[in-house]
Structure 1
Amino acid sequence: MQLERYGEFPKTLPVIVEEDMFLYPFMIAPLFVSDEENLKAIEVAMESQDKLVFITASKTSMLGESDTGFYDVGVIGVIMRRVALPEGRVKILFQGLSRGRLLNVESKMPLQGKIEPIISLPFDVARIEAILAVLKERLRNLYNISQNFPQDLLKSINETMEPNRAADLIASAIRLKKDQAYKIFKENNPEERLLSLIEIVMEEIRAQQIQKEIKTKVNSQMEKVNKEYFLKEQLKQIQKELGGDVGKDAEIEEYRQKLEKLKNKMSQDAYKEISKQIAKLSRMHQDSADANLLQNYIELVLEIPFGLFAQKPLNIDGVEKQLNKDHFALEKPKERIVEYFAVRELLALRGKGNNNENKGTILCFYGPPGVGKTSLANSIATALKRKLVRIALGGLEDVNELRGHRRTYIGAMPGRIVQGLIDAKEMNPVVVLDEIDKIHNSFRGDPSSVLLEILDPEQNKEFRDYYTNFDLDLSQVIFIATANDVSAIPAPLRDRMEFININSYTPSQKEQIAKKYLIPQELKKHGLQNSEISFSPSAVKMLIEKYTREAGVRNLRRRIAQILRKVAKNILQSPQEKVQITSKNLHEFLDKIVFEFENANKNAEVGLVNGLAWTSVGGDVLKIEALKIKGKGGLNLTGNLGDVMKESAKIAYSYVKSLIDSGVLKVDCKLIPQTPKEKEENIQPSASEVYNRLDVHLHVPEGATPKDGPSAGIAIASALASLLTNKKARGDVAMTGELTLRGKVLPIGGLQEKLIAAYKSGMKEVLIPKKNFERDMDEIPQEVRDGLKIHPVSEFKEVLRFVLK
């Protein structure tokens, strides 16, 4: 125990509290002391004859705690030497003698306490030797895997057979927590001390094995990284010597980083395809013919906005407000658009926003040019805070324009859909497919088949572009198509769309549009102010009636812009007072009057009837003229008529003949040319001779304009009936309707445009098919219904009662 020569124990000794560790009896250790309490304890020890001191550790756990703040066990030792250091610090050389226990604290400054040695209990030598053998074997295992276990200490442990010394040596060599060290330090049973150390050593062995495995993996990975680094550096130097691009690796690494950022936002197929192409590019020499094409591909597909969506939630109030702000009239179309988005908003609110039900129908706005089809789509995009992508399909023949070109072709590019997504920088823009009725088939493929895949909600979730070579989800895109003629759209495409008719504007509606929208917008474009120019209502009305002929307002905008250009020029050349544009001086700013409607004739004429027609620019009044000449009963048709209209004329002629034969119509026999014998005998020819002695010439003026359709049937029949009966036809009545051989009047299309044309031309009465009257009158503007007396007819005999005088 080495304490016999130091007198009787327990005895009072100064106490030094060490912060971080326990000291053991066999140790000779230097200690650096700076705090006041420990310095005073050292002075007391040095002044005593034996220079004994008790060193313990500050406590950090609940084990063995008391109110003193340090452990109640420690080492009893002697101070061999003391050296003063700068700043009041002291270095001592301490030798441990024996483990001790603090019985009680006798003074706090300096800290002193009653100390007694820890006496070891008797033990079974054979059992201790067996435990020591096991412990030493475990220590050798620990030594083999740990670099922190000193070899000299292992040798000392192997040579000692004293259990307490062996326990102290092992405890000092292993990194023990304070609570573990405390338990082993205070224990006076050698067997328990050694068994506890066996458990600790085995835990340390497991910890060292895990650390070794981790280090092996880390070192292996580091070796791989270092190997790749050195190989890449060598490759760079080789490329540099060969004139290669050293920055290529940096670019490829940048592509990889971009791809990893998008990995969770794109499909697995897209990630694999792009990753494969990046790897392929990394193996290519920069001067390779395919390297530049492949690099263009990678840069382009990484610009596709995977996972980026416009986040503004649907709000039909906002959509309705924006539509009313940007468009005058068009009540029915605006109502249908709001209904369409109301369904989408309701599905989104009820948690079904990602279901196929939310994809809905593809809207198609159809109607004459200039009535606002594309601008309605613009308003929808503005209200939804989404980007607008416009794809013009007019004259499109190449299917690859939509689906993209395969990368094997020179100059391959992605399709317009993918390019539109890149330009919009979001995956759910509003895409306007403009003029969908003007696509054409050719040897380059059928574009309508690609449009089927794009527009069908069941297919566009996996739209494959030939250039990208992976699927894209178009299900969140809002597609809106526009067309002038629905019949020209392929039938399968029509089946996927819901059509919203954008009708012609009435003159009063055009006046309001010019006043509220066109004039203010054009003033802003031309740098003019309201204080510099004004339009009188009569001038606007004349612009609409005399200088434009259209269903929409596009040409009206051009005419207004033409006037403003001249005004801007006059302001710069000769500043003047406010310019007043009136109906009297309008001719000074525009060319001569271009269009005039065929106004209703006040006087009735024989063989002249007003028909109504639909054209691509709206409705029009057709003057149908019939003339009889001496001949052999033939029917001549002129006026650039189409096949259907020619057939309508033949049907009308046959039916009028049947009415004459049945006596419903009476022919004026005095108008039939007489034979010489009839003249000599003063005999009037019979009514049936009209077919053999007269030719009928039917003409529709403006012969340069093609005309076709069955809706002029009753108008042609009325002109023929007027001609053959020599009765005048009213000039203030217009009509439209298809005629059958039995004299039935069938319904027609384009009723709104035709009635607007009749209203513009000053007609008083209009005859329309009865079925149109029953189902289409609610779509006719109130202004037109109030200005016309509209008569429904179901048979031609009813028409005759209104037309012939």
Structure 2
Amino acid sequence: MQNPQHFPPTLPVPPTLPVIVEEDFTYPFAIAPIFTQGQKNIAAANVALERNDLVLVCCQKAESSPESNSDEKVDSSAMPFYDVGVVCKILRKVSLPDGRVKILLQGMAITKVIALEPQTSEEDDSVIEAIVEIIEYQDYNQVRVEAMMKFLLENVQNYANISHFPPEMLKTLEETNDPNRVIDLVASTLRLKPAEAYKLFASDNIEERMMMLIDFVTQEIQAQKLQKEIKSRVHDKLEQTNREYFLKEQMRQIQKELGVDKQRDEELDEFAKKLESIKQFLNEDAYKEIKKQINRLSKMHQDSADANLLQNYVEWVLEIPFGSYAKGELSIKNVAKQLDLDHYSLTKPKERIIEYFAVRELLAKNAKANAKKTKNRDTESQKSKGTILCFYGPPGVGKTSLANSIAKAISRPLVRIALGGLEDVNELRGHRRTYIGAMPGRIVQGLIEAKEMNPVVVLDEIDKIARGVRGDPTSVLLEILDPEQNVEFRDYYTNFSIDLSQVIFIATANDIAQIPAPLRDRMEFISISSYTPQEKEQIAHKYLIPQELKKHGLTDKQIQFSKESVRVLIERYTREAGVRNLRRQISAILRKVATKVLQDEDFTPIKLTPKQIPDFLDKVVFEIEQSNKKARIGIINGLAWTSVGGDVLKIEAIKLKGTGELRLTGSLGDVMKESAQIAHSVVKVLLESGELESKIKSKDKAKGPMYNQYNIHLHLPEGATPKDGPSAGIAMACVIASILCEKPISGEIAMTGELTLTGDVLQIGGLKEKLIAAHKAGIKRALIPAKNYERDLKEIPKEVLDHLTIIPVQTIHDVFAEVFKRG
């Protein structure tokens, strides 16, 4: 049968039409508006209106832009849009306020684009012109097509039953005999993808078009059924959830009426029983508060928000181990044994820790004796109190590990609370229950974690507490660390007092100067100072190497560290007061050894020597520069304390012609700048009085003394590192006197001490770290204040005293006598 012509014969299609490019296909027989602001599309519409109101509407290809064009004819495969479109009649064109243009189109016929050619009109050369040809469909078997069309309409009816299909469209389809019109009408309602619509438009075989459309309708039916099934499942799930909720609620009400609401009642009974079991260990306020909240919980609906908050509260407070104390008896023998087992050296700290527990043990024995006499059951856990210990010193010297050893020795749980950067007071005291997510403070949580009321609590880095807008945590610590106040420590969350008097608090800090004075008053400080190289060697062989071998799955038969290799690691590969970096370097070596053991089948045991260390470690760090034995003018060794131990600080000076001014560089703090000014003034006084003889003769006496004719530039190397502190006065005075008097200073001498305007030498702190640093740098003589010599020399390690001559000085005269007479 011949395909009927569905384009109006009274409206012939011209061979060339302007092209409008859109994102979707426009279908024949449809009246549809398009909104566009593309200049080429608007120009094409204007040209069409000027000619015959006809325009070709094509669909843009995904990878192309509708604005793309060419100045010459191109092949259809290279066009920026599909080569099949619909000839449309422009019914109306309206310009909108937002700059867009609304064009009302009526689809007429499907056409094939033969080629493109540019518009030659001078008025608008941006319009895309296309040479077109109407697609003529092939003859078809009427019986087959009618059967296929009947099957198609049945599928469309099924599709309409499960989707929003226009009812009037069904009626139109039933009244239409033209299969092409039916195909185009159905396709316009399916929202086909551009590639699918193109296949449907481009085919001139009606049977093929019909089969394609049947497939598309079938796919849409399956997709709609799947969506409906998913929606139904979600709806059923919600229905089931709501149904279960209402059934459970009804069951709960029925059980309540019958008196068989077991789960709820059992839970409340358990809370009440637990409260009664610990009643004897609670003060009156605590018992009343907990009982009050349990009663409130019993009256509330279990699904209400307040009930959840109350239940969390009751569960938290009943987890606090009231009345539960560690049963291990104190024994200073066990403490001493454990400390010696875990730590080398640290004689003074160990003595103080043993004294601390000796007092507690004696109090415990006295309490037991009194209890027997008075038949009182109170024990040490309710009676003994003590001071708060604070271990302070550089990182890596064993502050926290000492606390671990203490807890192990007295058989008590250890709780570590990191205070570094803490700025919210509620972190320690707890949040009030009015806040969402409220919970007890870290102290109470620590008791719950320990499951004992007398654990060892380590307050780590207490010197690094911050102060912010949420309060000052230091104020809470004042209460926690005061034995007279922490008997009734009040947590905001629990809302009752808790006895912390049996908790052993041990604080750690790097710099006690950063701790507020009121808080310092609550603690007794034990200095854990730097290790000497000899101590580090012993620690490495006895503790670090065996521990790291075990961690890395190695044995001492696979690798052995010689004494010389450990000494090189200490002297050249670490820069610290403690042994933390030394442990890291040992660990780095063992990792490489472990890799070799697995990769090398013929692995031979390694005995590590200094020459082999560079094969395992690639960076050498010199801790302290060795002293220069040569005597030089204007250079002296000062001794300084840092947060990571002692250091030898070079101080340099030069003189320049000037007016007697003093210039300071090297990132000095205010205290050190004042020390330099004092030292400068003291040297001037001594030069004027003749007590300090200068080798420089004044050339012009009219200009005044010699020192007024020279400016002094004093510098401390490593200017990027801030330096401050009251202990460099005598060293600065010596280097200024050296440069003005042209007297050399021995490189084997170092000194520390503050200077007054009258020339007295004041005592300083950190003497042990400073002298250890001098010993490491190869210094032979060290000048220190006489008061430190009398008071602190007992704390200096023996190996330092054996290799270092320590000279006490009281005045600047004593200093100059030692420096210049022998220099």
Alignment TM-score, normalising by the size of structure 1: 0.68
Task: Give the equivalent residue in structure 2 for 1:756.
Answer: 772
Are residues 1:568 and 2:584 paired? no
Instruction: Give the drift of 1:260.
Output: 2.2
Query: Which residue number corresponds to residue 339 of structure 1?
Result: 355
**Aligned-residue offset at 1:448:** 1.4
**Match for 1:421 among 434, 441, 447?**
447
Cα pair 1:669 1:685 within 8 Å, conserved: no
Residue type matched to 2:783 in 1?
Answer: L
The 1:356–1:429 alpha-carbon spacing in structure 2 relative to 1, beyond 3 Å, is closer
SS in structure 2 at match of 1:237: helix
How far off is 1:264 after superposition? 2.3
Q: Which amino acid in structure 1 is aligned with residue 402 of structure 2?
A: L
Determine if the alignment matches structure 1 residue 710 to structure 2 residue 754: no
Consecutive unaligned residues of structure 2, counting only runs of 5 or more, are 1-248, 371-378
Distance 2:667 2:709 in 1: 26
Show CA shifts across 1:251-308 (max 9, x none): 2222222222222232222222111111111111122122212111111111111111
3-state SS, counterpart of residue 317 of structure 1: helix
Whether the 8 Å CA contact 1:546–1:596 is kept in 2: the answer is yes
Counterpart residue identity of residue 508, structure 1: Q
- State whether structure 2 residue 356 is matched by structure 1 residue 360: no
Cα distance between partner residues in 1 of 2:711 and 2:478: 53
Mapped contact 2:660–2:712 kept (Cα < 8 A): yes
Quote the Cα distance in structure 1 between the aligned partners of 2:530 and 2:783: 20
The separation in 1 between residues aligned to 2:544 and 2:324, in whole angstroms, is: 36
Of 383, 394, 402, 2:428 maps to 402
SS in 2 for 1:414: coil
- In structure 1, distance between residues paired with 2:491 and 2:537: 47
Q: Secondary structure at the match of 2:278?
A: helix
Which residue of the partner structure matches residue 520 of structure 2?
Answer: 494
Tell me, yes or no, if structure 1 residue 559 matches structure 2 residue 596: no
The one of 658, 662, 686 equivalent to 1:631 is: 658
Q: 1:379 aligns with which of 402, 405, 428?
A: 405
Indicate if the aligned counterparts of 2:696 and 2:742 stay in contact, CA closer than 8 A.
no
Tell me the distance in 1 between the aligned counterparts of 2:493 and 2:383. Answer: 30
User: How many residues of Structure 1 are paired with residues of Structure 2 in the alignment?
Assistant: 561
Change (3 A) 1:752 1:688: farther
Quick one: distance in 2 between partners of 1:376 and 1:729?
43
SS in 2 for 1:660: helix
Deviations 1:463-502 (A, max 9, x none): 1100011111111111111111122211111112111111
Tell me the secondary structure at the aligned position of residue 345 of structure 2. Answer: coil
Residue in structure 2 matching 1:284, options 296, 300, 308: 300
Match of 1:330?
A: 346
Give the root-mean-square deviation of aligned CA atoms.
Answer: 2.1
Give the secondary structure class of the aligned counterpart of 2:529: coil
Deviation of 1:383 after TM superposition, in Å, equals 0.4
Deviations 1:333-385 (A, max 9, x none): 10111011111111111127659983121111111111111111111100000
- The answer on 1:484 being equivalent to 2:510 is yes
Question: Hey, what's the Cα distance between the residues in 2 that align with 1:236 and 1:597?
Answer: 77
Following superposition of structure 1 onto structure 2, how do residues 45-194 of structure 1 map, counting pairs within 5 Å?
A: none
Moved more, 446-455 or 261-270: 261-270
What's the CA shift for 1:649?
Answer: 0.4
Contact 1:636 1:698 in 2 (8 A): yes
Match of 1:599 in 2: 626
Contact 1:610/1:715 (<8 A) preserved: yes
Q: How does 1:786-805 map to 2 (within 5 A)?
A: 786-804=802-820, 805=823
Which secondary structure does the structure 2 equivalent of 1:729 belong to? coil
- Cα distance in 1 for partners of 2:524, 2:302 equals 51
Match of 1:785 among 790, 801, 807: 801
- Structure 1 counterpart of 2:619, one-letter code: K
What secondary structure does 1:728 align onto? coil
Distance change in 2, residues 1:356/1:500 (3 Å): farther
- TM-score by length of structure 2 reads 0.66
1:505 is the counterpart of 2:531 = yes
State the one-letter code of the partner of 1:470: F
| CA deviations over 1:68-92 (Å, ceiling 9, x no partner) | xxxxxxxxxxxxxxxxxxxxxxxxx
* Counterparts of 2:610 and 2:728, CA distance in 1: 35
1: CA distance, partners of 2:704 / 2:525: 51
One-letter amino acid of the structure 2 residue matched with residue 792 of structure 1: P
2:672 aligned with 1:645: yes
Residue 699 of structure 1 aligns with an amino acid whose one-letter code is H
Which residue does 1:580 correspond to in 2?
607
Provide Cα deviations, 1:185-242, integer angstroms capped at 9, x if missing partner: xxxxxxxxxxxxxxxxxxxxxxxxxxxxxxxxxxxxxxxxxxxxxxxx998334899x
How big is each residue's C-alpha offset from its partner over 1:50-75, in whole Å with a ceiling of 9 and x where there is no partner?
A: xxxxxxxxxxxxxxxxxxxxxxxxxx
What's 2:792 paired with? Answer: 776
SS in structure 1 of the partner of residue 807 of structure 2: strand
Question: For 1:484 and 1:726, how far apart are their aligned partners in 2?
Answer: 41
| Secondary structure of the structure 1 residue equivalent to 2:308 | helix
1:600 deviation in Å? 1.4
Change over 3 Å in CA distance of 1:282–1:627 after alignment to 2:
same
Bigger Cα displacement from structure 2, 609-618 vs 530-539: 530-539
For 1:717-747, what per-residue CA distance to the aligned partner results, in whole angstroms no more than 9, with x for missing partners? 1000000001101110000000011110000
**Is the contact made by 1:236 and 1:246 (CA closer than 8 Å) also made in structure 2?**
no
Letter in 2 for 1:425: K
Percent identity over the alignment is: 68
3-state SS of 1:543 partner: helix
Separation in structure 2 between the aligned mates of residue 596 and residue 345 of structure 1, nearest angstrom: 43
Letter in 2 for 1:612: L
Give, in angstroms, the shift of residue 630 of structure 1: 2.2
Q: Is residue 470 of structure 1 aligned with residue 496 of structure 2? A: yes
Aligned residue number for residue 28 of structure 2: none
What is the CA–CA distance in structure 2 between the aligned matches of 1:234 and 1:556, rounded to whole Å? 69
Q: How does 1:446-457 map onto structure 2 within 5 Å? A: 446-457=472-483
**2:490 alignment partner AA:** R
1:661 aligns with 2:688: yes
Q: Which residue of 316, 319, 332 corresponds with 1:316?
A: 332
The whole-number CA distance in structure 2 between the counterparts of 1:537 and 1:245 is 75
The answer for the alignment partner of 1:440 in structure 2 is 466
- Which of 255, 258, 262 is residue 274 of structure 2 equivalent to? 258
For the 8 Å contact 1:661–1:688, the answer to whether it is kept is no
Q: Name the aligned partner's letter for residue 650 of structure 1.
A: Q
- 8 Å CA contact 1:514, 1:540 repeated in 2: yes
Question: 1:405–1:413: 8 Å Cα contact kept in structure 2?
Answer: yes
Verify the 8 A CA contact 1:669 1:684 in the aligned structure 2: no
- Tell me the CA shift for residue 801 of structure 1: 1.5
Assess if the C-alpha contact under 8 Å between 2:479 and 2:489 holds in 1: yes
CA contact (8 A) 1:309 1:426 kept: yes
Q: Deviations over 1:108-149 (max 9, x none)?
A: xxxxxxxxxxxxxxxxxxxxxxxxxxxxxxxxxxxxxxxxxx
Question: In the aligned structure 2, how far is the partner of 1:423 from the partner of 1:494?
Answer: 28
Q: Hey, what's the Cα distance between the residues in 1 that align with 2:444 and 2:384?
A: 22
Q: Secondary structure at the match of 1:475?
A: coil
Aligned letter for 2:575?
Answer: R
Change (3 A) 1:330 1:698: same
Please tell me the residue identity of whatever aligns with 1:538: E
* Cα pair 1:245 1:286 within 8 Å, conserved: no
